[in-house]
Amino acid sequence: MEYYVVSLLNGTIYGLLLFMVSAGLTLIFGMMGVLNFAHASFYMVGAYLAYTLQKLLGFWPALVLSTLLVGVIGALVERYFLRRVHKFGHAHELLLTFGISFIIAELIKLIYGNFPVDYRIPKSLDFSAFTIFGASYPAYRLLMGSIALAMFALIYLLLTRTRVGIVVRSAIYKPKMAEALGHNVPMVFMGVFSAGAALAGLAGAVAGAFYTTNPNMALELGIMVFVVVVVGGLGSLEGAMLASLLIGLITSYSVGIDRSLADLCALFGARAWAEGVGGLMTLKISSLAATIPFAFMLIILLVRPSGLLGEKE
């Protein structure tokens, strides 16, 4: 029981964190169609900037400022790099952003060293929200979850209820026509890219304090957010939320399952055979935990290529 409840809580919070990072990628890759491999690097930059700034300004101002700064970096990357290669297609975007992600990672190592930095939750936020099965549950996890939910509501309302949202949705869909109606589409694209980067930066600033802030954090999360966007369906914000939660929960639960396919075979009296085969049959689910989201993506792509809630193929 304890395992189920705690895994549910942790999985949900991890899912919400995934959403915070993939929300930006949903805008950039899912809607604008820009293949941005450096997206998780913005997440990492957000964490490191917040780490540096909170020593000078305190936690909350650092959170805000690092989000804004990452937004500016995003705008510069779009304006001076991506815009130039966009017309050549995805291969160029992939190579360019792959390069940018390497440059960012190496710069971080150069400045902060190739090891985790001591970015911690501020004392004022380091308390327990409630006690569950004799263990206290950190309030900061709930804060991360709430920020992600607030972010979801904000983007959703912005896109569906405001004129800016209408312009963004039409500029992404038919850029030339939107421009012929008097909207500065290149500027809109830069704005969306910058906002997407800023969201990743905010996620990094928030999550970096809880998990570890190290030069590999972009790599660890980078692939996973692509999985989220693809599973959720390109361009679907709700899909990204659903996929994030599913992947969060799957990861969280599978870590605790010490069973293998051989145990399943045992139900039919075939344990000895299964153990004889070995390999995949005897691997425990917990040791496969990191792979399961990818298997999940594979199945989704086979069964429903447009993703859970996506309309584009």
Q: Which residues bind other proteins (CB under 8 A)?
A: 163, 166-167, 169-170, 173-174, 176-185
Are 53 and 62 in contact by the 8 Å Cβ rule? The answer is yes
Q: How far is the CB of 172 from other proteins (least distance, A)?
A: 9
Q: Closest separation between CB of residue 180 and other proteins, Å?
A: 4
Range list of β-strands (E), the chain: 128-132, 135-138
The nearest distance, CB 305 to other proteins, in angstroms, is 19
What are residue 136's DSSP bridge partners? Answer: 131
- For other proteins, give the closer residue by CB, 190 or 255: 190
Residues 6+ apart with CB under 8 A from 311: 233, 235, 236
Query: Between residues 118 and 313, which has the closer beta carbon with respect to other proteins?
Result: 313
d(CA 170, CA 176): 10
Q: How far is the CB of 187 from other proteins (least distance, A)?
A: 9
Closest CA to 30 of 143, 169, 136, 203: 169
Between CA 152 and CA 145 the distance in angstroms is: 11
Rounded distance between C-alpha atoms, residue 204 and residue 309, angstroms: 26
User: Closest CB to other proteins among 187 and 295?
Assistant: 187
Q: Name the residue nearer to other proteins (CB basis): 72 or 164.
A: 164
| Burial label, 206 (beta-carbon count in 10 A; 0-12, 13-18, 19+) | buried
> Shortest gap between Cβ of 22 and other proteins (angstroms)?
21
Residue closer to other proteins, measured from CB, 126 or 311 = 311
